[in-house]
Amino acid sequence: MVQRGGGVRDVKIRILKENLSKTDEKDGMIAVDLTVNVCESMGANILNTISENTSHYVQSLIPNGKILLKILSNLCVNRTATAEFKIPVDNLKYKGIAGEEMAKRIVQAYEIAFHDVYRATTHNKGIFNGIDAVALALGQDWRAIEASGQAYASLGKIYCQ
């Protein structure tokens, strides 16, 4: 992985639950996040291998702690794809509605979804109908794609600007 230009790029520790009990040292909970450049691979196997092999070092730093999970997350906020396209406005005309008017309605629908999670959920379902079909045709794990896409969307304005 390193020879191809990839490998571990960053390590972050997140406190999931503070140690509130002064008597029970195991009350706290942390997550150790490794950011890994997997180059052009999907990376699931190598990420799990890195997690397994790194856990021994992490355990040595927290002798009274217990490692519960050593597994990747499908929420990849640093590895996203974007797409752009252009459609001539005249091609948007539909059932007697002019293309320019339809374009305005599409933008308004987007604005509603941006401000209303109920509308956004339905928009995302429609988007995933197309994504899932392509994922299935290519033999990809459509469930992981949907789960990560929905979780990413739930982050809202933090990442999705």
Q: Do 98 and 154 fall within a single domain?
A: yes
Give the domain-ending residue among 61, 76, 101.
61
Q: How many angstroms separate the CA atoms of 6 and 99, rounded?
A: 46
Q: What tens digit of pLDDT does each residue of 90-137 get?
A: 999 999 999 999 999 999 999 998 888 888 888 888 999 999 999 999
Q: pLDDT confidence of 161, banded at 50, 70, 90?
A: very low
Same domain, 99 and 142: yes
Q: What is the pLDDT of residue 109?
A: 93
The answer to whether residue 156 scores a pLDDT higher than 80 is: no
- Is residue 24 predicted with pLDDT exceeding 80? no
Same domain, 52 and 99: no
Clarify whether residues 13 and 49 are in a common domain: yes
Residue 145 is classified by DSSP as H
pLDDT (0 to 100) of residue 130: 92
DSSP 68-136: ------S--TTS---------GGGG-BTTB-HHHHHHHHHHHHHHHHH-HHHHHHHHHHHHHHHHHHHH
Residue 18, in any domain of the structure: yes
With respect to residue 84, please indicate whether it lies within any of the assigned structural domains. Answer: no
- Note down the domain range covering 38: 2-61
Total domain count, the chain: 2
pTM comes to 0.62
Cα 123 to Cα 126: distance, rounded to the nearest angstrom: 5
The verdict on residue 35 lying in a domain is yes
**Has residue 71 been placed in a domain?**
no
Residue 132 lies in a domain: yes
User: Across residues 19-35, what is the average pLDDT?
Assistant: 76
**For position 49, which CATH number holds?**
3.30.70.420
Residue 77 lies in a domain: no
In this structure, the answer to whether residues 35 and 94 fall within a common structural domain is: no
Chain segment 52-85, per-residue pLDDT in tens = 999 999 999 888 888 888 888 878 777 777 889 9
pLDDT band at residue 89 under the 50/70/90 scheme: very high
| Final residue in a domain of this structure, among 43, 61, 79 | 61
* DSSP state letter for 20: -
In a domain, 66, yes or no: no
Q: Determine, yes or no, domain membership for 67.
A: no
- Asked if residue 109 and residue 49 are part of one domain, the reply reads no
Domain boundary among 61, 79, 107: 61
